[in-house]
């Protein structure tokens, strides 16, 4: 059943919060900034109104997940910290002496209550609405990019995942007490999941039998992460590494296995839209959706800044049709031209034909492809095949038995020609310098909020992780923007 909205119970110790938690503490400010009643409205249908035992209120559970995003910890360590950290209890609307939840409740709410794909859009729209009410967003310019997140399972076999975690745990223990090597169970040498699970359980049991060993913070964290993998996530570990994760490519030589989060961000560094996809998806294909989601969040988009991936022809057409200025450099293959064996063919501007290195001029040309449909059109130049057969330089150029010899050159579309000229303007060169801001935002998500590696499994798990992380970074940025006018006189 859905309980009443949580509020702090009367407590003789409540005055401690006024003593130990400053007025400008981030948790106080977030509670003042955000009306969390929207969480109740969104999740009401997930709870029975008149049957079952009283549940923990979804607002409190939601705040637990926010804390997990702000300080990436295991569920057990997060709940353990909320026992003694008064700032956590204050944020959770709990009295200092009030009992905390069972860690397994966090697994339940993630799997049973927060599987809605719209949660990501909802949380972004909520933060943008707060920013708009405070007049923090002044322009209609957004910056777009995609950041990747490595799957926690990393294309490994389930037993390899367990082996990695148990190895890290043993190394942590050896740094404290190397004599424990003699007490640990014999390592599993079989490439078998059941054997590895048995070893991990024996290892955990051995560690727990040594008085005070798990009390060490580093050992305790590694131990609980292994326990969670063995217990809570064992169903995912048994079935596969990560069924939804896919291999994507950052460069020609480097790849990753996981997911992509496609972001749109205002120049004030507030995320205005996000789409979570599997790792192989193309960045440019999501531009139109990011613009539409940003508009739905309340941003009057009139300028978009992005890298080369967003300058494909369909995006240029979309931007023109919707009166949007697209600041995205064209692929060098388009601006500089991309012709095979260009050092072997020269263009004769007087004749309007190409000449091969043997001095033979093309005898005719034909245009291929339809204008404005599919890929760019090509001009194909035809050479006299009989002369090619007798040419002294035919090796590597003429293929024996060929019925024709041609050379093709792609034609820039009208959209590409306009964009090529536009990117040489001073306005374009100045605007494109703003793109670094979204790279910094990607770094913040990865280094401060655990976005480098997935915390869960599957596309839904990645979407939930993204929703919480982006909600937190937007709230922190809003507080920073609110403070900036007060800090300006001191600079």
Burial of 197-231, coded b for 16+ CB within 10 Å and e otherwise, reads bebbeebbeebeeeeebbebeebbbbbbbbbbbbe
Per-residue pLDDT tens digits for 295-346: 999 999 999 999 988 988 889 999 999 999 999 998 775 655 555 565 677 7
Per-residue pLDDT tens digits for 250-293: 765 677 889 999 999 999 999 999 999 998 888 999 999 999 99
Per-residue pLDDT tens digits for 441-476: 999 999 999 899 888 778 888 999 999 999 999 999
Q: Supply the pTM of this predicted model.
A: 0.72
Q: Can you name the residues that pair with 248 across neighbouring β-strands? A: 256
Which segment of 149-153, 157-161, 340-344, 409-413 scores lowest on mean pLDDT?
340-344
Question: Distance between CA atoms of 45 and 460, rounded to whole angstroms?
Answer: 19
Alpha helices (H) in 8-134, listed in sequence order: 15-20, 26-33, 37-43, 58-70, 75-84, 86-91, 104-108, 119-133
Question: Distance between CA atoms of 91 and 107, rounded to whole angstroms?
Answer: 20
Q: DSSP readout, 156-214?
A: --HHHHHHHHHHHHHHHHHTT-GGGGGTSPPPP-SS-HHHHHHHHHHHHHHHHHSTTTT
Looking at the chain, how many residues does it have? 491
């Amino acid at each position: 059943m859905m309980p009443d909205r949580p509020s702090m119970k009367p407590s003789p110790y409540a005055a401690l919060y006024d003593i130990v938690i400053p007025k400008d503490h981030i948790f106080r400010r977030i509670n003042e900034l955000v009306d969390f009643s929207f969480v109740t409205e969104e999740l009401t249908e997930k709870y029975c109104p008149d049957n079952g035992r009283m549940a923990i209120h979804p607002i409190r559970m939601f705040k637990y997940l926010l804390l997990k995003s702000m300080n990436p910890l295991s569920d057990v360590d997060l709940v353990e910290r909320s026992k003694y950290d008064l700032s956590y209890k204050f944020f959770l609307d709990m009295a200092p002496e009030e009992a905390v939840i069972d860690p397994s409740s966090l697994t339940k709410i993630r799997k049973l209550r927060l599987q809605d794909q719209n949660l990501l859009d909802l949380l972004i729209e909520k933060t943008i609405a707060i920013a708009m009410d405070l007049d923090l967003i002044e322009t209609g310019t957004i910056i777009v990019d995609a950041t990747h997140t490595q799957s926690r399972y990393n294309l490994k076999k389930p037993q390899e995942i367990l082996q990695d975690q148990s190895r890290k745990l043993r190394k942590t223990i050896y740094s404290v007490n190397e004599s424990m090597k003699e007490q640990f169970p014999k390592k599993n040498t079989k490439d078998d999941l059941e054997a590895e699970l048995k070893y991990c359980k024996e290892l955990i049991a051995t560690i727990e039998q040594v008085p005070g060993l798990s009390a060490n913070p580093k050992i305790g964290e590694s131990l609980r992460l292994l326990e969670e993998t063995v217990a809570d996530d064992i169903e995912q570990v048994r079935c596969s590494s990560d069924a939804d994760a896919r291999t994507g490519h950052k460069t020609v030589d480097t790849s990753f296995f996981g997911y992509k989060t496609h972001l749109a961000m205002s120049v004030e560094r507030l995320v205005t839209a996000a789409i979570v996809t599997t790792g192989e998806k193309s960045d440019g294909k999501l531009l139109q959706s990011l613009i539409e989601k940003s508009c739905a969040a309340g941003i009057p988009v009139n300028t978009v800044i992005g890298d080369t991936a967003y300058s494909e022809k369909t995006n240029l057409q979309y931007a023109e049709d919707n009166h949007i200025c697209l600041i995205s450099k064209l692929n060098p293959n388009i601006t500089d031209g991309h012709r095979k064996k260009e050092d072997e063919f020269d263009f004769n501007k007087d004749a309007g034909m190409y000449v091969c290195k043997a001095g033979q001029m093309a005898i005719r040309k034909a245009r291929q492809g339809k204008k404005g449909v599919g890929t760019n059109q090509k001009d194909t130049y035809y050479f006299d095949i009989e002369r090619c057969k007798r040419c002294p330089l035919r090796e590597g150029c003429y293929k024996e038995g060929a019925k024709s010899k041609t050379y093709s050159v792609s034609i820039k579309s009208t959209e590409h020609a306009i964009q090529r000229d536009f990117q040489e303007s001073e306005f374009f060169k100045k605007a494109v310098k703003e793109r670094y801001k979204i790279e910094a935002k990607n770094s913040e998500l990865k280094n401060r909020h655990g976005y480098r590696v997935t915390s869960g499994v599957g596309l839904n798990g990645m979407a939930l992780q993204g929703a919480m992380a982006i909600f937190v970074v937007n709230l922190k940025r809003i507080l920073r923007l609110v403070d900036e006018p007060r800090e300006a006189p001191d600079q």
